[in-house]
Chains A and B, each alone.
Chain A
Amino acid sequence: MAAPESLVYERPESFTETPTHYCPGCTHGVAHRLVAEVLEEMGVTNRTIGVAPVGCAVFAYNYFDTDFVEAPHGRAPAMATGVKRVLPDRVVFTYQGDGDLASIGMGEIVHAAARGENITVIFINNANFGMTGGQMAPTTLPGMKTTSSPNGRDVESQGYPIRMSEMISTLDGVGYCVRRSLHDPKNIRLAKKAIRTAFETQVRGLGFSMVELLSTCPTNWGMTPVNSLKFVEEHMIPAYPLGDYKVSEAIKQVKI
């Protein structure tokens, strides 16, 4: 075996040994790993409570070595509110997809943000309902084919995509709200830094924090994992521009 000092990277300890149920190449796994690394680096794994959603990440609780609860579809921010209000010194985060957060859970996310709940939300935007087999989500791009928009999303009858980060960032309770992407190494590094900043926002009591992550769904998009990354770069990012939508003055002072 290699000498310990030669180790460059290994699976984070705050990840359990359970292999994920995600399809090969799905960037949910990358997002999970980044959250696990951040919790470990901040030394808060043993005082973190995660809130799993309904959707592909429904089994997220199997993968993080933290306490976890599992919310009804869309209700994770409300459940997280309940946990955080009675355990204010713990770290509480939700991990939600776009069906969960931007469709059925729109009320809960907006009001948790508006109340400035000191929770962190990891929002996975992969432009469809993954778990149920690739139906149209509020985030589905115009013209994008899904199993419930078989001719492509027709904005005349099926409406327009919702840009959550832009919307959430208008609320005064929000301390930190950014959009990042998981499609290449540089952006994955930026995503991790954003996740770290979001959790730092929470532990400092600086308000609601959300990181939207543009993510892939190779199976339901009908693409290879590698081509899915290209789709994110070429089609998702133009529709969902990456950037810092809200970084409060207090958080700008935080050095990571």
Chain B
Amino acid sequence: MAKELWKGNEAIAEAAVRAGLQAYFGYPITPQTEILEYLSRRMPELGRAFVQAESELGAINMVYGAACAGVRVMSTSSSPGVSLMMEGLSYIAGTEVPAVLVNVMRGGPGLGNIAPSQADYNQAVHGGGHGDYPRIVLAPASVQEAIDMMGLSFDLAEKYRMISMMILDGSVGQMMEPAEMPEMKPIVERNWDWATNGALNRERRILSSIYIEPAAEEVANLRLANRWKEVQANEVRYKEYFLDDAEIVVVGFGTAGRVSLSAVRAARAQGIKVGLLRPITVSPFPYEVIDQLTGQAKAFLVVEMNMGQMLSDVRLAVRGRVPVEFHGRPGGMVPFPDEILHEVQRVNGANLSVQTDPIDGWLARMAEVK
């Protein structure tokens, strides 16, 4: 198919439809509302389920119900709305049913603003709902990547009976780019052996996140832990740019990664041996590739649109062997390529220590940003 001009949010909606989305439940919140609006037209015309829920609580629990019924189901929201969905996400995880959630992140905490942000990284990757549960988190940096990841999100969710989230900042949701849509996939009757869709000619099934006996809950937790090892072994995805001889490795996901690439190119033009690692799956996180890069790099520079969240994961992989520096723009601000270039130049020229907290230096430098 030819490339067309697509707005990020609408592209996500259409890509989900083409991946076989059977039910969508959502609630309006900026900057993702176009997904809801688009699907309010598209789903009924295809005879598929669409409900504008009374709240994000309602939406995620409708997702939970439809997921238990064994269909391809999705919700989308933005940061404050995703916080409201955390209860449902924990139940979905505990019940081990597949569901897809897109978070078009905005500035926070609280009501914050509606500008692009990556401040929900920890909520998506490490935290969120109560209890122990892993989840897959994909981080597209362009409209095309978001389209491509939609089908992947459903496939991964179903393969591992797990939540698959896509986190993108509001700029990817709002921007228009040329992109290519995949072909429309037919709806496949999956006949899962776990779905609660009526006990016709079979034993009845129960789907629940309750394990009232702690020993049984432990078994369930360990099952999730083992399944996560499988995900870690098979599903880590990332993009590498100019890393072959890189002495400085910039790490950034989503838009921060994309802006960093411009800076890396500019730095290369100046002869600085710098490369970029852009995680596609921020969960499972590409610890191993960072571990390997630590052998060749003299320093890492983590760039995020938050106060340093993925930074912790990079530092975990680097394990103090080389300095890890940080540049972040929180609160809905987007870094410019030249400020990242400036950071690359600084890291290139500096005599850095592994002993200092990268946040201290970052805050000192940010004191000049007024």
Contact = CB atoms under 8 A, between A and B. Distances in A.
Judged by CB atoms under 8 Å, the answer to whether A and B touch is yes
A67 B207 CA distance: 8
Interface stretch (B62-70, B230-238, B353-361): B62-70
Interface bin, chain A = 35 or more
A70 B208 contact: yes
A90 B65 CA distance: 13
B150 to A, nearest CB: 19
B22 A82 contact: no
A115 interface: yes
B204 A66 contact: yes
A171 interface: no
B69 A86 contact: yes
B88 interface: yes
B253 interface: no
B179 to A, nearest CB: 29
Interface in B64-121: 64-69, 71, 73, 87-88, 91, 95
A72 B88 contact: yes
Interface stretch (B50-58, B132-140, B294-302, B316-324): B50-58
Interface stretch (B4-12, B195-203, B221-229, B285-293): B195-203
B116 to A, nearest CB: 30
A70 B69 CA distance: 12
Nearest to B24: A85
Nearest to A79: B65
B57 A67 contact: no
Interface in A65-108: 65-72, 75, 78-87, 90, 107-108
Contacts of B198: 46-49, 66-67, 87, 90
B228 to A, nearest CB: 23
B207 A70 contact: yes
A51 interface: yes
Nearest to A117: B51
B205 interface: yes
A59 B62 CA distance: 21
A52 B62 CA distance: 14
A54 to B, nearest CB: 9
B247 to A, nearest CB: 50
B23 interface: yes
Given A46-B200, A67-B196, A70-B210, A82 B54 contact: no
Contact of A82 (B55, B73, B87): B73
A115 B88 CA distance: 21
A121 B54 CA distance: 18
Contact of A46 (B22, B63, B199, B209): B199
A69 B23 contact: no
Nearest to A48: B198
Contacts of A69: 64-65, 68, 95, 196, 206-208
B25 interface: yes
Contacts of A75: 57-58, 61, 64, 87-88
A120 to B, nearest CB: 15
A7 B67 CA distance: 42
B49 interface: yes
B51 A79 contact: no
A70 B196 contact: no
A80 B64 CA distance: 9
B197 A52 contact: no
B51 A85 contact: yes
Contacts of B87: 72, 75
Contacts of B62: 78-79, 81-82, 85
A83 B206 contact: no
Contacts of B49: 85-86
Contacts of B58: 75, 78, 81, 107-108, 111
Interface in A31-57: 45-49, 51-52
A83 B62 CA distance: 7
A65 B59 CA distance: 28
B66 A82 contact: yes
Given A68-B206, A82-B67, 19 more contacts: A46-B198, A47-B199, A49-B69, A65-B204, A67-B198, A67-B199, A69-B64, A69-B206, A69-B208, A70-B207, A71-B64, A71-B65, A78-B53, A78-B57, A82-B66, A83-B66, A87-B69, A90-B197, A111-B58
11 contacts: A62-B206, A65-B199, A68-B196, A68-B207, A69-B196, A70-B207, A78-B65, A80-B65, A85-B62, A86-B23, A87-B69
